[in-house]
Chain A
Amino acid sequence: DIQMTQSPSSLSASVGDRVTITCQASQDINYYLNWYQQKPGKAPKLLIFDASNLETGVPSRFSGSGSGTDFTFTISSLQPEDIATYYCQQYNNLPPGGLTFGGGTKVEI
C-alpha cells in the first residue's frame, strides 16, 4: 500500500496566521490527493480534491498544491472555526483496495 506521511501531527497557531500542512506519498500518486476537515465529534468533510481544487462552498482561505509525492495544504488566515483535524487521502491504487489516509494534523489555536 501507498503510505501517506502527514506533518506536523499537531500545531498551534493564532487567529490570522498562515497555516501549512504537508503530506508526502511513498510513491508517485500524480495529483490523486484530497484533503478533509474533521471537527470534534463530527464526520469528515471534503475540502480539496485532486490536489488543488476547492470543493464548492469551501472558503477561499483554504488551498492545496503539489503533485507526484509532495503536497501542501494551506489556510491563509486561520479562523476560530478552523479548529479541526485535517487529513490527506490518496487514490492512486487500481483496483482501489489500498485507498489510504494520512495520519492527520490537529490544528489548535
Chain B
Amino acid sequence: EVQLLESGGGLVQPGGSLRLSCAASGFTFSTYAMSWVRQAPGKGLEWVSGISSSGGTTYYADSVKGRFTMSRDNSKKTLYLQMNSLRAEDTAIYYCAKTAVHYDSVWGSYRFKWFDPWGQGTLVTVSS
C-alpha cells in the first residue's frame, strides 16, 4: 500500500523558514515524480511545486518561486520542501502527492498530469 507521511508543519512568524518532509513507502519512490499541493483553511487546492523522479528538475508556482525549494533524497525515500520568507498567505495544509508525469520531447519538458495518492497533510501557520 502506498503511504505518504508529511511532517514539519507548525507555527512560524512572517519572514521565517520551515522545512517540510514527506516520507514515502509502498512504492519505488525513485521512479516517480512528486508534488506539493496546499490548501488554505476553508479554501481550494493550489499546486505549489513538483520534482522529477531523479530530482534533477523542479517546477514551482509563481506564488512561491524564489522562496520555496523542493528536493528529494531517493536513498531515504523522502521528499522535502524548504520554505523561506514565509508570508501569512502561505498558511495552509501542505500535502505531498505521488505524481503521474509524461515527458514531452517536443517541448523538452515534463507534463505533470495528476496526483495520486496524497498524504494526510501537515499544517503550516504563518502568524506573529
Using a CB–CB cutoff of 8 Å, the interface residues on chain A facing chain B are: 1, 32, 34, 36, 38, 42-46, 49-50, 55, 87, 89, 91, 94-104
The size of the chain B interface, using a CB distance under 8 A, is: 28
- In the complex, are the beta carbons of A49 and B113 less than 8 A apart? yes
| Interface of B (DSSP majority class) | strand
* Known contacts A44-B118, A46-B116; A96 and B111 CB within 8 A of each other: yes
What residues of chain B lie closer than 8 Å to A1, measured between beta carbons?
Answer: 62
User: Which among A32, A55, A98 is the interface contact of B113 at CB below 8 angstroms?
Assistant: A32
- If A95-B107, A96-B109, A97-B65 are given as contacts, then 18 extra A-B residue pairs at C-beta distance below 8 Å, sorted by A number, are A34-B113, A43-B95, A43-B119, A44-B37, A44-B45, A44-B95, A49-B100, A49-B114, A50-B113, A87-B45, A89-B114, A91-B112, A91-B113, A95-B110, A96-B50, A98-B61, A99-B50, A104-B44
Is there an interface contact between B47 and A99, defined as CB atoms closer than 8 Å? yes
